[in-house]
Structure 1
Amino acid sequence: MTEFSLLGDNTEWQEDFEQRLHASYTAAGPGAAAAEHMLEDVRTGISDWTVAEITDAGTRVGYVAVAVADENGTLASRIGDLRVDALHAGRGHKQAARGWAEGWCAERGAHRVDIRLTEPAGELFDGYRVRGQLRTRLISSPPEPLEGVTARPMTQAEYPEWLASEKVAYVGDIVRAGALSPKEAVRKSDRDFAKLIPEGLATPDNTFLVLEAAGEHIGTGWLKHGYLPGVTYGYSLYIQEQHGGKGYGRAAMAAGEQATLAAGDSALRFTVWAATRRQ
């Protein structure tokens, strides 16, 4: 029988969790410094997690960690960790832990349960919607540009229309992913853009691109350099819908890779949102 008991001292679990998390970050390829930076971000909030030991007939078989927090005015919960030792796998402990975690979160008024997977989980969370996937591309050499496609800096005259479009797209991404209501998503969009690019085109360590083919505007790009040590984050690499199916998506990625190398970074990270307009 699977049972759960809250831990008073999380030290042993945290050491094990951090080792597993660091290994998964390193395996993703961005480098040791970036992996340590990501791990430090997790450490800042881990003290608020509630951790339960999973036992079977008095024997510890794993851990499950949960948290509930206010997110833009809505109580959101998260399963931060769910691990069962390989020796005890296949006995229903993971399914029981998922049920316990969901019940714990619901009892505290959370209307949504999120997870962030860094390791394969089999079919355990098949019923959950995929909001997005973080991907990292290592860049060892300059990319081959697509013939006929050019990337140039965005002009000040082009910036306002681009910003308005990006805000609308970001709101759509959030709403379609099921994270927030439309009204909440608009507020989050305004806050996030004000924080990320407070000086517009002049915001340091950001690149804003316009992609063109045969003299026609076909897309845009927005990248933040040094997002992590040695890593550029691609906030947006977008090809207009009417220009889809022509290989321009790869051209946008090549432009992002070139900008990444030019800034001195060696990896490009980006989020692929579920069911969005992103190319």
Structure 2
Amino acid sequence: MAEVTVRPMTEEEFEGWQHTTAVDFANALVDARGWDFGEAYATTRQGNAELLPYGLDTPGMFLLVGLADGGVPIGRLWIGLEHPRGVPNCAFLYDIEVDAAHRGQGLGRELLAAGEAVAAGHGARAIELNVFGSNATAISLYQRSGYRVSTQQMIKDLG
């Protein structure tokens, strides 16, 4: 398995990532909660803009590109050092994605570990994330990487 390192996202990568991550999250909201895609996309873009008011230069936010095999980009991470609900010394993983061409090779675990090392290197003693219950692949990755369920939301359709 290739070792994965991370580097800061470039401005060009950030521009493309903003759209791609919003599309992916909007699609997840459509699947998990039945949202209208347009509304989900707009809400996601607005939320991300609020979390990243200075883009790549937003203090405490790390937008990283994962590299393997001598510098080949294989995915992206977004980690915030300040937890969105104020949990002390706990970073938050907002986004992780391994490019489709590189999935199934164990690179997700390596990318996650590289991001965790960045957070720990900046003083975080824990890292938390949210994952949609229907995302079995991600849940499996997080469980294999030592994550445990700390809270859980459930929903039932009534009609």
Q: Which bin holds the TM-score, normalised by the shorter protein?
A: 0.7 to 0.9
Alignment check: 8 A CA contact 2:66 2:73 kept: yes
Q: In the alignment, what sits opposite 2:30?
A: 175
Q: Tell me how far 1:171 sits from its aligned partner.
A: 0.6
Give the whole-Å Cα distance in 1 for the aligned partners of 2:15 and 2:122: 24
RMSD after superposition:
1.8
Whether 1:252 and 2:111 are equivalent positions in the alignment is yes
Please tell me whether the aligned partners of residues 151 and 210 of structure 1 are also in contact (alpha carbons under 8 angstroms).
Answer: yes
Partner of 1:235: 94
Deviations along 1:65-112, one digit per CA (max 9) or x if unpaired, are xxxxxxxxxxxxxxxxxxxxxxxxxxxxxxxxxxxxxxxxxxxxxxxx
Structure 1 window deviating more from structure 2 (186-195 vs 215-224): it is 186-195
Question: SS in structure 1 opposite 2:124?
Answer: coil
1:261 is aligned to: 120
- One-letter amino acid of the structure 1 residue matched with residue 111 of structure 2: A
Residue 223 of structure 1 contacts residue 232 of structure 1 at CA under 8 Å; is this kept in 2? yes
How many residues matched? 134
Distance 1:180 1:225, change over 3 A: same
Q: Which runs of 4+ in 1 moved over 3 A?
A: 274-279
Alignment of 1:86-105 (within 5 A): none
Query: Which AA in structure 2 matches 1:244?
Result: R
1:202 aligned to which of 57, 76, 96 = 57
C-alpha distance in structure 2 between counterparts of 1:203 and 1:233, whole Å: 15
Match of 2:78 among 203, 215, 222: 222
TM-fit CA distance, 1:187: 2.3
Higher relative contact order (CA 8 A, sep 6+): 2
Gap runs ≥5 in structure 2? 142-159
Cα distance between partner residues in 2 of 1:152 and 1:161: 16
1:225-256 Cα distance to aligned partner (Å, 9 max, x none):
12121111100111112211111111121012
When normalised by structure 1's length, the TM-score is 0.45
Q: Tell me by how many angstroms 1:179 deviates.
A: 4.9
Work out whether 1:166 is the aligned partner of 2:21.
yes
Larger strand proportion, structure 1 or 2? 1
Q: Give, in whole Å, the separation in 1 of the partners of 2:41 and 2:131.
A: 20
Q: Secondary structure at the match of 2:11?
A: coil
Is there any run of 5+ residues in structure 1 with no aligned partner, and where? 1-145
1:190 offset after TM fit, Å?
2.2
Q: Distance in 1 between matches of 2:62 and 2:89?
A: 15
Q: Which residue, out of 40, 43, 50, partners 1:185?
A: 40
- Partner residue, 1:155: 10
**8 Å CA contact retained: 2:18, 2:45:** no
**Larger C-alpha radius of gyration, 1 or 2?**
1
SS of aligned partner of 2:33: coil
1:109-120 equivalence runs, <5 A = none
TM-score, structure 2 as length reference:
0.77
Contact 1:206–1:225 (CA under 8 A) maintained in structure 2: yes
Distance in 2 (CA, whole Å) between partners of 1:197 and 1:248 is 26
Secondary structure of residue in 2 paired with 1:264: coil
SS of the residue corresponding to residue 16 of structure 2 reads: helix
